Structure 1
Amino acid sequence: MPIIAWMGVPQNHTNIVRFQEMKDAGITISMSNYTNSDSLQKALDIAYQLNLKVMIRCPELYNNTEKTVLRFKDHPANGGYFLLDEPITSEFPKLKELLQKIEAIDSTHFCYINLFPNVAMPELYSPIDYRNYVALFLNKIPVKILSFDHYPIVNGFIRVNWYQNLEIIQSEADKAGIHFWAFALTTAHDYYPIPDLAQLRLQVYSNLAYGAKGIQYFTYWTPTSNRWDFHKGPIDVDGSKTIVYDYLQQMNNEIQNYSLIFLTSKTIKVSHFGEIPLETKELTSLPYFVKSIKIKGGNALLSEMKNEMNYFFMIQNTNLNKEIGIDIQTDLQTKIVLKNGYIIPANLIKEEFKLTPGDMVIFMR
């Protein structure tokens, strides 16, 4: 599964040791801003040695597009072309023009544009509402992947419209016939906390439950800013590892152990139990192989996914600070897919079990 580091290894730290460190954290694509194409070339060459990708992002991509695309289109570490973060609608025409110019030369790689979340100030996508902002974007610009950012954990609470944002993105991506990528926050700033493993799981597994086919982290290397108080990213400003690096590494190991399920499956139904978030659906029915389920102690997300071979039922604890109890009865053919990749019969679990905050369990039939 693509796992993207926003602000990966910076240009002035481009060396194989730092790239190996990033790979060890579970990152597969690095996204950094290079001041020139030669610096980007150096990063691509190092990434290739480690089977990593680097997104093409340098001034020459915009002011000398044809030459730059021709230079990098066949590089084996090319991870796509970075066009813009959080565009307003007036920027759509120029983005379409740039995308078409790039894809006329290189139709193999994708062009990356990341959209605002639904918590952005409405005037940024005015005069239309958020769903229409996303729909207009997809109508005007033929991207191959839809990306958006939404950091839901603020001051110890989960934003009420986060799942609404996921519902909209999933729906519009399905209409367009493309996949979407989503974010988890790994660098604290202002009212966004230093994440722990539970917070990463909450964000990542909810994104995957809605059908995300790529996970992005903001950020890998802690940036400096005059506006935001960035601190304690996985790699701190001085280049040292923080505890968040360890959480990130564990999270990505879990993702890759489940990646075959999430990459090959289509999400067919997402419902919620307990407090029902805005514009989401309450749990009213169960998959055919689940006889009964009791959830105690808090809120839960339930996702039904299918691929060509199996039907999956995922249950996630969507509380920030408390466990939930699960008492589930299934048929004899149902199994549980464990985090280490092992598969066991579901009927081995004969009692109520606990899910810690943000965590989930996957049943397979």
Structure 2
Amino acid sequence: MKHSIFTFLIFCFSISFSQNKKIPIIAFHGVPPGIFSTKEQFAKMKSVGIDVCYTVFNSTEEVNKALNASYAANTKLIINIKTLQIDIKNAVNQFKNHPALYGYALADEPGPNQFADLRNDLLEIRRFDDKHVVYINLHPNYVPQELINGLSYETYVKNFITEVPVQFISFDHYPIVKNKVRDNWYENLEIIRRLSYQYNLPFWAFACSTIHYNYLQPTLQAMKLQQFGNLLYGAQVLQYFTYWTLTYEDNWIKEKYSYSIVDDKGNPTPTFSIVKNVNDQIQKLAWVFLGSKTNHVYHIGNQIPTGSFELKSIPQEFQKFSTHNKAAVVSLMSNNQSKFIIVQNKSLTEILNLDYQIKKKMDRVNNKTGKTENLLLSKKYTSNILPGDILIFTYNK
């Protein structure tokens, strides 16, 4: 079943606090069930700029307690509970009328052998509730091939879309390993962007916000690189893995999960202020990204990532446009009658100096306020773009 991006966004708005020009942001492994499932903890989550919480529950009682606490804090829940797979009708009918429900989670990183069952479960959920999302999150393109039956990554995603009638594409790719950006991150974004438009499905993307395996302590630069990178490729919903520091399973302790947005008692870590800073900036710029279409994405620099495209000539709206060959992403976007040229600094450590002069009427968007600033045709400009950050130009069609 195919849904237009426009139709789905209208659907999202009807279930997500009637947000006007606000990008939905989700905490994956958010506030856990039990003693921490309180209004105060959900309010803390909301204060960092996250309004939707994905949580795994063990019982109906845990879900109801969390829904009530979430409602009191004006947040929403995506619920993952085993009873949903055992008795879909009963589970859905128990929760579908709760005002804090955002949706139901069916699977995280499924393999192709699960697609038929997921299709059946999704359609069964929709028999009883067609007003809430059904959440399924896909593997990244660095998944071992044996987990996707030896398929190419693009075929894996395409088969999922054609077999399971989802309303959006969600995938997790954590691109910064030991403070280095994975070579295949942009290829993953290209594939998802291409299939998103081919099948008229918006996509949801992730940033890594916790130490685990070879992922180091989150930094402001890395968080901006990930979330703005997602937006420049067209993501309409952003996610964080994880909100809560995971310590209640042996593997999470073994892999030393730490420095998530809050610790395992719900207290803010240094990552909390980083994520709040990034989310605040994102929402100031939401009018640019929400409902937009990414027409082209190009890269500048000595090394053009696999699967991406090099910017071979400057945008036609400029007389001068130079990063001095420093690494950058240039995204060409449109949103209703507005067009945008957005430059992202791909470095995690160095400021990018962009020298430019416009040759048609154009404004620059202030990163801190989201307001536009007039540019003069006769003036030569230099803007300093911080590591991971962006600079937005806009004009009317």
Partner of 2:340: 312
Counterparts of 1:174 and 1:229, CA distance in 2: 38
How far residue 44 of structure 1 moved from its aligned partner, in angstroms, is 1.4
Conserved in 2, the CA contact under 8 Å of 1:297 and 1:324? no
Q: Given the alignment, which residue of 48, 52, 55 partners 1:25? A: 48
Residue among 246, 257, 270 paired with 2:273 = 246
In structure 2, the residue matched to 1:327 is: 355
Distance (Å, rounded) in 2 between the aligned partners of 1:139 and 1:127: 18
Q: Which residue of 2 aligns with 1:135?
A: 158
CA shift for structure 1 position 332: 5.2
Of 54, 64, 71 in structure 1, the residue corresponding to residue 87 of structure 2 is 64
Q: Does 1:259 align with 2:286?
A: yes
The offset of 1:297, in angstroms, is: 6.1
Q: Whole-Å Cα distance in 1 between the matches of residues 337 and 240 of structure 2?
A: 31
Q: Note the C-alpha offset of 1:51.
A: 2.4
Matches within 5 A, 1:279-298: 279-296=307-324, 298=326
- Within 1, Cα distance between the matches of 2:316 and 2:202? 27
* Partner residue in 2 for 1:145: 168
- In the alignment, structure 1 segments of 5+ residues that lack a partner are none
Is contact 1:298–1:323 with CA below 8 Å preserved after alignment?
no
How far is 1:285 from its partner? 3.9
Deviates more, 1:162-171 or 1:71-80: 71-80
Matched, 1:226 2:235: no
- Structure 1 outlier segments of 4+, above 6 Å: none
In the alignment, the residues of structure 2 paired with residue 62 and residue 295 of structure 1 have an alpha-carbon distance, to the nearest angstrom, of: 52
1:361 aligned residue: 391
Aligned-pair distance for 1:61?
1.2
Is contact 2:366-2:372 (8 Å) kept?
yes
C-alpha deviations, 1:194-239, integer Å up to 9, x for none?
1111000000001000000011000000002433221111111233
1:261, CA displacement in angstroms? 1.3
Gaps of 5+ in 2: 1-22
CA distance in 2, matches of 1:297, 1:200: 23
Distance 1:138 1:67 in 2: 27
Given the alignment of the two structures, is residue 202 of structure 1 paired with residue 231 of structure 2, yes or no? Answer: no
Matches within 5 A, 1:95-244: 95-224=118-247, 225-227=249-251, 228-244=255-271
Structure 1: distance between partners of 2:178 and 2:326: 20
- 364, 372, 376: which is aligned to 1:343? 372
CA distance in structure 1 between the partners assigned to 2:192 and 2:147 by the alignment = 18
Q: Contact 1:298–1:322 (CA<8 Å) still a contact in 2?
A: no
* Whole-angstrom CA distance in 2 between matches of 1:46 and 1:260: 30
Cα distance, 1:49 vs structure 2: 2.6
Q: Which moved more, 1:308-317 or 1:230-239?
A: 230-239
2:105 paired residue among 76, 79, 82: 82
User: Which residue among 272, 291, 299 is the counterpart of 1:272?
Assistant: 299
CA distance in 2, matches of 1:45, 1:5: 18
Q: Is the 8 A contact 2:218 2:271 kept in 1?
A: yes
**Structure 1 residue matching 2:218: 3-state secondary structure:** coil
2:327 aligned to 277, 283, 299, which one?
Answer: 299
RMSD, matched Cα: 1.4
Query: Within 1, Cα distance between the matches of 2:292 and 2:158?
Result: 24
- Report the secondary structure of 2:344's partner residue: strand
Q: Which amino acid aligns with 1:354?
A: N
Task: Describe the SS at the equivalent of 1:32.
Answer: strand
For 1:155 and 1:239, locate their aligned partners in 2 and report how far apart those are by CA, in whole Å.
Answer: 26
- Please give the per-residue CA displacement for 1:99-140, whole angstroms capped at 9, x wherever unaligned: 010011111212111000011111111221111000000010
C-alpha distance in 1 between matches for 2:40 and 2:354? 44
Separation in structure 2 between the aligned mates of residue 331 and residue 42 of structure 1, nearest angstrom: 58
Aligned partner letter, 2:372: I
Maintained 8 Å contact 2:38/2:70: no
Q: Which residue of 1 aligns with 2:17?
A: none
Q: What is the distance in 2 between the residues matched to 1:332 and 1:136?
A: 44
* Structure 2 SS opposite 1:336: strand
Deviation string, structure 1 residues 69-114 (Cα, Å, up to 9, x no partner): 1122222211111000000111111111100100111112121110
The 1-side partners of 2:271 and 2:298 are apart by 30
Whole-angstrom distance in 2 between the partners of 1:187 and 1:130: 25
> Scaled by the length of structure 1, what TM-score is found?
0.97
Name the residue aligned to 1:48. Answer: 71
How far has the Cα of 1:263 moved from its partner?
0.8
Q: Which amino acid aligns with 1:130?
A: Y
The residue type paired with residue 296 of structure 2 is K
Percent sequence identity over aligned pairs: 36
SS in 2 for 1:33: strand
* 2:370 counterpart letter in structure 1: G
